[in-house]
Structure 1
Amino acid sequence: MNEVEVIRSGALGGVAHGFLGRRGGVSTGIHAGLNVGIGSDDEPDAVTKNRARAVEAVLPGANLVTVFQIHSADVVAVTAPPAERPRGDALVTDRPGLLLGILTADCAPVLFVDAAAGVIGAAHAGWKGAIGGVTDATIAAMETLGAKRERIAAAVGPCIARASYEVDDGFLANFATDDPANERFFAPGKPGHHQFDLEAYVVARLAAAGLTRIEALGLDTYADEDRFFSFRRATHRGEPGYGRQISLIGLEG
């Protein structure tokens, strides 16, 4: 069995973390690899085993905490493993032994740490959550636990890249209405369409919020089928389902 691939960010320093893809899992078929999506139509036993493998690859023995993601800016502060997944799109904690997990399949996963304060965060930034302020809300929630934004480092993991993310005029209009400067994140496409740079937009939001240590990994989930699941790729192929990868961060006890 292949080992789980753990992609790390230098910006996050020594905190236990990893952006995982599809390598190293037990799922087969269209979900082949490390599919951790409870909501997918993969075999539940395979998903459970994949989640266990993900935890062991990043912070062995930790309690995995994930959310029921709803493309919002809602942040959940966790102090203990919840009985069931809370609804939201970001997690923060200052408690060792909790491994915060965000699932993606083209959306941008963002991991945060203030090492001096011992506070971490993880956010799911699809386009709706990103423009809605999920990263800003995560930073604010970390501050309530004692973090200081001038110390917070953030890393943006594998997500769909501009070359792969075609959108229409209405999509661009949403962003331009929110802030005319957002047009810089769109490149010309075929008539009536544009190529959106989600990663650059998320990085800009992080910088505007006052963060100075930001790393973007520049990995395209759509284009790199061997390493990552992609909702849009599966949709373009007419496949009946798709896998989800996980990004993790935790404090050692």
Structure 2
Amino acid sequence: MTIKPAWPPNPQQWVLPDWPAPASVRACVSTRLGPGVSLAPFDRFNLGSRCGDVVALVEGNRAALTDSLSLPAPPAWLHQVHGTTVVEVDAVSRITNVKVEAQADASITCRRGSVLAILTADCMPLLIAAADGSEIAAIHAGWRGLCDGIIEACIFRLKTPCENLLVWLGPAIGPRVYEVGDEVRAAFVTRDPQAVAAFQATSPGHWLCDLYMLARQRLAQLGITRIYGGDLCTLSDSDRFYSHRRDQISGRMASLIWIQ
């Protein structure tokens, strides 16, 4: 008899969202401490296929991810390009080849057993669930995608009214360490004047940027009030999280969500 791994998984290896999602919705974020085989500087549980790691090792880590969490199917990985394209995962993904990935930065599904996945190493992952568990979504939001409207593009594809959506903001580079230039601040403020509150001047032409605040502003404008998370910094927590800004050459964590 096969014994399936217990849920929730080991909290030392995984981050579990602290949100009141229905029991049928499961979600977690991998850390670099998972059961992986990648070598330095990707050690050890790198799940990204386009960051310089050996492809065979990434495929092994992805297989270990599926087994460790007893996922109902391999995740529907995306080729993320910091854009605003949203794809619907309407069938259980059986693709394991890392070269076969939809080019998009968000995915949605209402199908049980389809596992949505977002890869990050400073950008912000958003996991979304209908309060009744009928549909889910996952978003990759770097500053460009966030500014250009990836959150709105994804929410508009869902059938659930905004007031019935739950959103969790996963590990991202935090507001005390994420420094950007004038061009980033101007891009946000031009689109939405209230975005000025998310930027704090450090030196001429440089600003600390609060991605979490910017996301909350966009969500609030859509009428979404049930927002959770937003308190984990990838750059500051080097033990658990990969950070491209900190390390330059870095692996990727995966934020996963599925309907059990």
**8 Å contact from structure 2 (residues 13, 31) kept in 1:** yes
For the structure 1 residues 12 and 33, does the alpha-carbon distance in structure 2 shift closer, same or farther, using more than 3 Å as the test? farther
The question of 1:107 aligning with 2:118 is answered no
SS in 1 for 2:75: strand
Change over 3 Å in CA distance of 1:115–1:221 after alignment to 2:
same
Q: Is residue 250 from structure 1 mapped to residue 258 from structure 2 by the alignment?
A: yes
- CA deviations over 1:108-152 (Å, ceiling 9, x no partner): 000000142510000000001111111111111122xxx222111
> Could you tell me which of 23, 27, 37 is aligned with 2:33?
23
Task: Answer yes or no: is 1:187 the counterpart of 2:200.
Answer: yes
Cα distance change of structure 1 residues 22 and 38 upon mapping to structure 2, 3 Å threshold:
same
TM-score by length of 1: 0.90
Percent identity over the alignment is 35
1:71-110 alignment, distance < 5 Å:
71-80=82-91, 81=93, 84-110=100-126
How many residues are aligned here?
242
Residues 56 and 135 of structure 1: CA distance in aligned 2, closer, same or farther (over 3 Å): farther
Distance 2:118 2:75 in 1: 10
Alignment pair present for 1:171 and 2:176? no
Moved over 4 A (4+): none
Q: Distance in 2 between matches of 1:163 and 1:129?
A: 21
Q: Shift of residue 103 of structure 1?
A: 0.3
Unpaired segments ≥5 residues, structure 1: 236-240
Asked if residue 5 in structure 1 is aligned to residue 13 in structure 2, the reply is yes
Secondary structure of 1:124's partner?
Answer: strand
Q: Which residue of 1 aligns with 2:4?
A: none
Q: Alpha-carbon deviation of 1:91?
A: 0.3
Residues in 1 aligned to 2:68 and 2:106: alpha-carbon distance in whole angstroms? 21
C-alpha change, 1:149 and 1:57, in structure 2 (3 Å) is farther
Q: In 2, Cα distance between the equivalents of 1:152 and 1:32?
A: 36
Contact 1:169 1:192 (8 Å CA) reproduced: yes
Pick closer, same or farther for the CA change 1:158–1:20 going to 2, 3 Å: same
Cα pair 2:147 2:187 within 8 Å, conserved: no
Cα shift at 1:59: 4.6
- TM-superposed CA distance for 1:159, in Å, is 0.2
What's the Cα RMSD here?
Answer: 1.7
2:132 aligned with 1:116: yes
Whether the aligned pair in 2 keeps the contact of 1:59 and 1:250 (CA below 8 Å) is no
- Counterpart of 2:198, as a letter, is F
Q: Which amino acid is the alignment partner of residue 246 of structure 2?
A: R
Q: Which runs of 5+ in 2 are unaligned?
A: 1-9
Alignment partner of 2:71 out of 60, 65, 74:
60
Cα-to-partner distance string for 1:177-203 (whole Å, 9 max, x where unaligned):
112211100012122211000111112
Distance (Å, rounded) in 1 between the aligned partners of 2:150 and 2:186:
20
Q: Tell me the residue number matched to 1:231.
A: 244
Give the AA of the match of 2:215.
Answer: V
Q: Is the 8 A contact 2:27 2:258 kept in 1?
A: yes
